[in-house]
Amino acid sequence: MSALAIEIPYWGQSLLRVLGGLVAVLLPAGTIVYVFLFKMMSFMQSRLGPMEAGPYGSLQLVAEVGKWLQKEDIVPTNADRRIFRMAPIVVLVSTFLLVAVVPFGPDAWFTDFETGIFYALAVSSVSVLGILMAGWASANKYSLLGGLRAAGQLIAYELPMVLAVVGVVIQAGTMNLQQIVVAQNSGSIFGFDGLGNPYVLTQFVGFLVFMVAMQAELSQAPFDMPIAESELVSGYMTEYSGFRFLIFFIGEFATAGVFAMIASTLFLGGWGLPFAWFGWDSVDSVANWMNVAGPVIVVTKMMAVTFLVMWVRFSSPRLREDQLQRFAWKVLIPLSLANIMVTAVFKVVA
Amino acid sequence: MVAQNVGFAVIALVMLVGALRVVTSRNVVHAALWLVVVLSGAAAQYVLLAAEFVAVTQVLVYVGAVMVLILFGTMLTRSRIGTEGGLNNPRWWLGIPVAGLLMAAMSIALVGGIGDEKMPAGAEPVPTAVVSDQIFGPYLLPFWALSFVLLAAVVGAIVLARKD
């Protein structure tokens, strides 16, 4: 915050951070829903998608939110009322906790957390609790099955995700996301520093594993068995309506956005441009305008990563439950373990 | 340090209430969810002690993995909604002396080990690299022993789960 050259009191900074967090979670969620779920899916299916509300249907989302907000908030008679009501909030809170460690510029960060990426992986698993709570409290066998499936899936795919990140951490030598960004942009590949060293090039296997695991963590097709509509109605979300459904819905796409931001921070160089272009050599010498350009760069990269996720989502059929588990344990985990070994060898030798 | 003390007291109170509700709750899933509150409280206390790495590990292992496993298990086997009777073991009172003994042993160990030493005011969190240097340096042997125990547990689990 020193870049602004004005002293903001601690409570003011905290308030700004909370507001910034709200923007960083909700704005990408809305953009993803409009650009990908409404427009891109329609394009791939040779239709126009929403066109009436606002120019090119850009205000459709406002109409949808309004519709959900004025719907009745129904709780099933046999449900466990308190837990039923708490569950969506737990899911959304985990998303907000997640965004806290994503850096957006040399001085534009919410917290400069030493164990950043480790923290992100830890709090992302909190959403499983919310999903289990929702599935159980609904007093509905489809909900319960959906919740259990979600939990099994998220646990199975958390492992390859953590292991894929370990490769990046070994190469960068730090778990702090800010320093991972700096390491990528000030690095070089075989002495060539025109691109920096985005880990998508040198950690390509890790990136692949991370993207697949991310797809599963977000329960996007082909990994959407928890809400498989042909078997489970709508999984753990079956009994939810009105604004609680809205919270689940926002949570799904907000988490997609935040995970995409984390993926672009880990593998695509985050907010940075290759430092060699401007002759910067450390994070302190980075020009102040990067605090403005950084968020734009992060959001651009986030949209690119989300595009990949949504592309796979719209064009692949659902896997079976046993295929899903087998793929995680027999393909992804051995692959990421091998990746760690190779990375460690290169780190020691090179 | 006053702010930290107030924070400690508030979190400790929440943990205390949570722990009591774990054993008095009349629904297994509710009890498990109260346990989540207690374990998250422990993570918050670690943050107050400037031990970020331990705090995050606490969340990852206990909230993210162990509690999910417990909830998964209870929901898969006895997922009843509403209050249930007969959840108490008839010999529940045995837990009281065991808990007392445990507390005495831990207090002796902590007071003996730390004594009057105080955390320096405004202590910075220890960098993770320092923590790992400690684990893979002086504490390498206990670390190996622990990994061996875990390996044995994994092998045991596979043996139990195999049908043939």
Domain that holds residue B146: 127-164
Q: Which residue has the higher pLDDT, A323 or B121?
A: A323
- CB–CB contact B75 A148 (8 Å): yes
Q: Any CB–CB contact under 8 A between A221 and chain B?
A: no
Look up the CATH number of the domain holding residue B63.
1.20.120.1200
What are the DSSP calls for A35-56, one per residue? Answer: IIIIIIHHHHTTS----SSSGG
* Separation between Cα atoms, residue A97 and residue A25, nearest integer Å: 10
Q: Does residue B114 belong to any structural domain of this protein?
A: no
CB-nearest to B75 from A113, A132, A174 is A132
Question: B74 and B2, same structural domain?
Answer: yes
User: Is A41 exposed, middle or buried (CB count within 10 Å of its CB: 0-12, 13-18, 19+)?
Assistant: middle
Buried b (16+ CB within 10 A) or exposed e, B71-102: bbebbeeebebeeeeeeeeeeeeeeeeeeeee
- CB–CB contact B33 A152 (8 Å): no
| Whole-prediction pTM | 0.85
What confidence tier does A1 reach under pLDDT thresholds 50, 70, 90?
very low
Model pLDDT for residues B27-42, shown as the tens digit of each residue? 888 888 899 999 999 9
Question: B138 and B76, same structural domain?
Answer: no
User: Is A24 exposed, middle or buried (CB count within 10 Å of its CB: 0-12, 13-18, 19+)?
Assistant: buried
Residue of B nearest to A126 (CA): B64
Q: What percent of chain B has pLDDT over 70?
A: 95
Domain count, chain B: 2
Which of A188-192, A289-293, B65-69 shows the highest mean pLDDT? B65-69
* Separation between Cα atoms, residue B4 and residue B122, nearest integer Å: 10
Q: Any CB–CB contact under 8 A between A160 and chain B?
A: no
Q: Does residue B104 belong to any structural domain of this protein?
A: no
CB-nearest to A122 from B33, B60, B72 is B60
Would you state the pLDDT for residue A6? 67
**Number of cross-chain residue pairs from A and B with Cβ atoms under 8 Å apart:** 82
Chain A residues with CB-CB distance to B56 below 8 A: 115, 118-119, 122
A285 within 8 A of A276, measured Cβ to Cβ: no
Peptide bond into B142 cis (omega under 30): no
Q: Any CB–CB contact under 8 A between A113 and chain B?
A: yes
Q: Does residue B94 belong to any structural domain of this protein?
A: no
Model pLDDT for residues B90-112, shown as the tens digit of each residue? 888 888 899 999 999 999 998 88
Domain boundaries, chain A: 2-349
Predicted complex ipTM: 0.78
Q: Does residue B6 belong to any structural domain of this protein?
A: yes
